[in-house]
Amino acid sequence: MTASALQRLAMRNHPAYWAFVVHRVSGVGLALFLPLHFLVLGLMLEPRAADAFFRWTEQPLVKLAETLLVVLLAVHLAGGLRLLALEFLPWSDRQKTWIAIAFGFALFSGLLFLLAAW
């Protein structure tokens, strides 16, 4: 392997790289969710369709998907705040700790939502 290939592999093991990847993946997941969200908003205009939708949301798999959505939102928020910090604050070695705190916050938010949903 060349030195540049080894350097690229080493960069991919850094927590900041994985924070970058998770932020982008969560953004794509949220973008894919938006059309479904608008469809549901349209269903709310008719009471029968809304009632049927609300009955459907009582299924455990739907609650799990909603929990995943909350985690995606929290991860994306935390990743966005991390990017703002990178832009406006000086770089420090503590940023690995802040990345871990951000992901912990996201997982905590999702678990809190899951507990409230059951």
What is the reported pLDDT for 3?
67
Confidence of residue 60 (pLDDT cuts 50, 70, 90): very high
Give the 3-state DSSP-derived string for the chain, with helices as H, strands as E and coil as C: CCHHHHHHHHHHCCHHHHHHHHHHHHHHHHHHHHHHHHHHHHHCCCHHHHHHHHHHCCCHHHHHHHHHHHHHHHHHHHHHHHHHHHHHCCCCCCHHHHHHHHHHHHHHHHHHHHHHHC
The model's pLDDT over 73-106, given as tens digits with 9 standing for 90+, comes to: 888 988 888 888 777 878 777 777 877 888 888 8
- What topology is assigned to 15-117 in CATH? 3 helical TM bundles of succinate and fumarate reductases (1.20.1300)
- Per-residue confidence band for 28, with pLDDT thresholds at 50, 70 and 90: very high
| CB distance 109 to 74 below 8 Å | yes
Distance in angstroms (rounded) separating the CA atoms of residues 78 and 98: 10
pLDDT score at 9: 67
Identify the pLDDT of residue 117: 75
Is residue 5 very low, low, confident or very high in pLDDT (cuts 50, 70, 90)? low
